[in-house]
Amino acid sequence: MRFDFFYNFLASLGYNHPVHPILVHITIGLVVASFLFALVATVPRYSKFAVTARHCTTLAAMTVPLTFLAGIMDWQHFYAGAWTGTFKAKLTLGSVLIALLATGVFLSRRLAYRSPGIYAVYLAAFLTVVGLGYYGGELVHSGAEPASAESGGGSSGDAAATDQDGEVAYTQIDSIMQSRCVSCHSTGNPIWGLDASSYEALMDGSKNGPIVEPGNPADSELVKRIKGITQPQMPLGGSPLSEQQVQRIERWIEQGAPGPDGEPASGSEAG
C-alpha cells in the first residue's frame, strides 16, 4: 500500500514532511482535555465540566480514525512499512485508543457523566496517549546524538580519525552512521532497502540504487539527503547532521569513499 500520489501532491505545494504530526496533536489534545475536565468535575461545584469532558471524548473519537490513517500513510511512505518494535507499539496503542474512545462514547450515552466506568475510560485513554507520545519520541529522537557531538566537541578518538591533510577514515563515517542512521537503516530494519550498518551494505545502496558515488559527493544521494537537496531530508524527524559531519562525509566520498582497509572504492574518481 503506497500513497505516493498524495505525498507528491504535497511536495508540489512545497510540503515534504509527514502529515501525522499535524493531526495527532488534535486527538491527543482532546484526550488530555477530557481527562483534565473530568478531574475538575470531581469537585461538586464544578460538576458541569463532566459534560465538557464528554464532548472532548466525542470529538477525539471523531478525529482518531483520520489521525490513525495519517500515521499508517506516513509509516508506509517514509519508513516503507518497516515492522520495528517502535511501530508495533504505536500501531497497537493507536488501536487501543480507538477502542477506548469508542467505548467512552458508548458508555457516555448509558451511564451518568461522573460514573466510575466513564472515569476509568478517561484514565485509560490518557495513559494510552502518554504511551503513544513516548514511542513517538523514540521514533523521532532515538537516533539523535549528544549535544557535544553535534557541536563538534566529539571524543579525541573521533578527532584522531582525521589526519592533518584532511583524509577521512571510514571509522569516522561509520560512527556517524551508527549514531544517526542505523536506527532506521540496519540489517534487521533496512528501510527502503538501505542498510547503513556496514561499509559493504552502505556501498550497496538502497532499492533505488547506489547512494554513494565515489569521488563525486555532489552526485551522491547520501549527501543530497543529509543536506536536504533531495526531500525528505535525513535523518527523518531528527535534527540534521552538523555542518562538520556533512563536510566529513563529503570529504570521505571525494577521497574515493575508502573502506575499513583504507583503500578507495572500486571505480573511484578520486586522485
Mean pLDDT of the chain, nearest integer: 84
**pLDDT for residue 234:** 85
Domain ranges of the chain: 4-141, 147-254
pLDDT tens-digit series, residues 182-238? 878 888 777 888 889 899 999 999 988 999 999 999 999 999 999 988 877 888 767
Residue 254 phi, psi (nearest 5): -60, -30
Read off the pLDDT of residues 224-248 as tens digits, 9 standing for 90 and up. Answer: 999 988 877 888 767 788 999 999 9
Reported pTM: 0.66
81: left (phi over 0), alpha (psi -120 to 50) or beta: left
pLDDT in tens, 23-77: 999 999 999 999 999 999 999 999 999 999 999 999 999 999 999 999 999 888 7
Kindly give, in sequence order, each residue whose CB lies less than 8 Å from that of residue 66, ignoring residues fewer than 6 positions away: 23
Helical (H) or strand (E) element with 189? strand 189-190
**What is the DSSP-derived secondary structure letter of residue 62?**
H
Which tens digit of pLDDT belongs to each residue from 123-175?
999 999 999 999 888 776 654 444 444 434 444 344 444 444 578 899 999 99
Measured CA to CA, the distance from residue 131 to residue 31 in angstroms comes to: 13
Is the pLDDT assigned to residue 78 strictly greater than 80? no
